Amino acid sequence: MQTVCLFVMLLSFQWVTGENVLIWPSEGSHWINLKPVIEELIERGHNVTVAVHASTVYINYSEPSSIMFEVFDVPFTRDRYKEFFNDILHFWIYEKVILSYGDLYRRFTEMIRTGTELNRQICDGIIKNHKLLQRLKETKFKVLLTDPINPCGDLLAMKLGIPFIFTLRFSLGSSMERFCGQLPAPPSYVPVVMSELSDKMTFTERLQNIFYMQLYTLMNEWFWHNWDAYYSEALGKPTTFCETMGKAEIWLIRTYWDFEFPRPLLPNFVFVGGLHCHPAKPLAQELEEFVQSSGEHGVVIFSLGSLVKNLTAEKANMIAEALGEIPQKVLWSYAGEKPKMLASNTKLYKWLPQNDLLGHPKTRVFITHGGTNGIYEAIYHGVPMIGIPLFADQPDNMAHMKAKGAAVVLSFISLTKQDLINAVNTVINDTSYKENALKLSRIQHDQPMTPLERAVFWIEFVMRHGGAQHLRPEAHSLSWYQYHCLDVIAFLFICLAAIVFAFTKCCMFCCRKCRGTREKKNKVE
């Protein structure tokens, strides 16, 4: 019996080891979040190949690693690509709040146009490179994993004839999930991503939610529209960007119920938020000594993320002054010029072992820009937060944490010294923030399998079975009026109208008959 068990186990293990996985990656924090999944796949004996263009900013393909890189050329330089990212950051952080609507619209269209053009050149680099496509085809990949923030991953999978899986935090207003993935999102209690609303909405907030839903949908359709022709040409048949996305086997969403509000789900949507989190490792001696020197007050960790490393001198000095007035010691991840007002309780670091620091018992508060990677490390270790959101989904992420009572949110643009001091004192003095952060932490830790195991399970599931079509709802093949049963409602309405009509006619006929006989009777009398 035991040997049979062992044999079956060996067989099933053999079935999933040593497969080839193809990755179509994204830049920045998206890459940071994908890496643990890649490492786990390699750990389990799979061959992972990352197809990346030569001018990537955040993915260092010359670094020695067990990941195989398939590097292809693009007609722009790394500096050009970096400039594009900096331009987006500058727009989001500094320009968005000061530009008039007209200028905002112009800048936004300009950026969409540039982004689309760069993305098209990246897609061309692989989709129109027949030699490379042929080589990839010969490698017999079992699955492709991609982040839909960059187009073309799904298209590449279709060209190679292999199943694909999405990994994402969100799309603008959740419109990709709603339209291309058919994920239901009733606007009455599901706030769309980037609305900064919670699940408890007043009448005006529901109005706002529906407004955002429509606005973001329009923006996304405008963006998708650029790709419909490209996708149709590449696949040699009329199709749309959204239709191709809808063929995904699994959507791995990088959040979980410690972060999300309860909402309706589909079986092919799997929530894996926090997959990159792990227990804290001991700090280097110099760091440990500084942390210990804080005594009973503890330390504050301050980081505005992997993308924003410097601030204006004015802002940096204001923050430095505020930090100087709190009793805690502060570790600040900052690569800009040292602020003149920097106090003795604050130390600057070009890089911090953020996860290890958040897991340190002396850590009291995490001041963050509100990226999901950092938020999840704070949730994992039960550390309350002060959010200074800068761009993209960050304000929305912090709105979630605020609604769950684990964070105070400040505005980056109108931030004052006193705001920051008050926020630190509030989060530390009012113990409810810590308690709520611990509650979220317990939700994160108490799961049948870790988020990373869950993500890898579904990737291996798709490889084992050649897909997961049994989880894909039939909603994909319905038209909008069939989806809402408007045809059935119309039919029932016509039936009802016919019955009412027939009934009224009948009644009128009877009435006339009655009146007729009565009149006759009267005449006879």
Ligand X SMILES: *[C@@H]1O[C@H](CO)[C@@H](O)[C@H](O)[C@H]1NC(C)=O
- Footprint of ligand X (CB under 6 A): 18, 20, 47, 60, 62-63, 310-312, 327, 425, 428-429
CA distances, 521 to each of 101, 458, 511, 513, 514 (Å): 80, 84, 15, 12, 10
Contact 268, 246 (CB under 8 A): no
> Cα torsion for 41, 43, 45, 46, to the nearest 10°?
20
Least distance to ligand X from the beta carbon of 17, Å? 9
Bridge partners of residue 348, in order along the sequence = 332
Least distance to ligand X from the beta carbon of 429, Å? 4
**Between residues 344 and 429, which has the closer beta carbon with respect to ligand X?**
429
Q: How many CA atoms within 13 Å lie on the side-chain side of 379?
A: 31
Least distance to ligand X from the beta carbon of 329, Å? 12
Least distance to ligand X from the beta carbon of 311, Å? 6
Contacts of 449 (CB under 8 A, 6+ apart): 457
Least distance to ligand X from the beta carbon of 419, Å? 15
**Between residues 2 and 62, which has the closer beta carbon with respect to ligand X?**
62
Contact 38, 316 (CB under 8 A): no
Least distance to ligand X from the beta carbon of 297, Å? 7
SS (H, E, C) 37-100: HHHHHHHCCCEEEEEEECCCCCCCCCCCCCCEEEEECCCCCHHHHHHHHHHHHHHHHHHCCCCC
**Between residues 37 and 248, which has the closer beta carbon with respect to ligand X?**
37
Both tokens assigned to 383 = 């550390």
Q: Residue 385, Cα to own-chain centre: how many angstroms?
A: 20
Name which of 33, 58, 35, 24 is nearest 307 in CA terms.
Answer: 58
Least distance to ligand X from the beta carbon of 91, Å? 13
Q: How many CB atoms lie within 10 A of CB 66?
A: 10
**Between residues 34 and 311, which has the closer beta carbon with respect to ligand X?**
311
Least distance to ligand X from the beta carbon of 473, Å? 33
**Between residues 253 and 427, which has the closer beta carbon with respect to ligand X?**
427
CA–CA gap between residue 256 and residue 270 (Å, rounded): 9
**Between residues 265 and 335, which has the closer beta carbon with respect to ligand X?**
335
**Between residues 379 and 462, which has the closer beta carbon with respect to ligand X?**
462
Q: What letter does residue 331 receive in the DSSP assignment?
A: E
**Between residues 328 and 441, which has the closer beta carbon with respect to ligand X?**
328
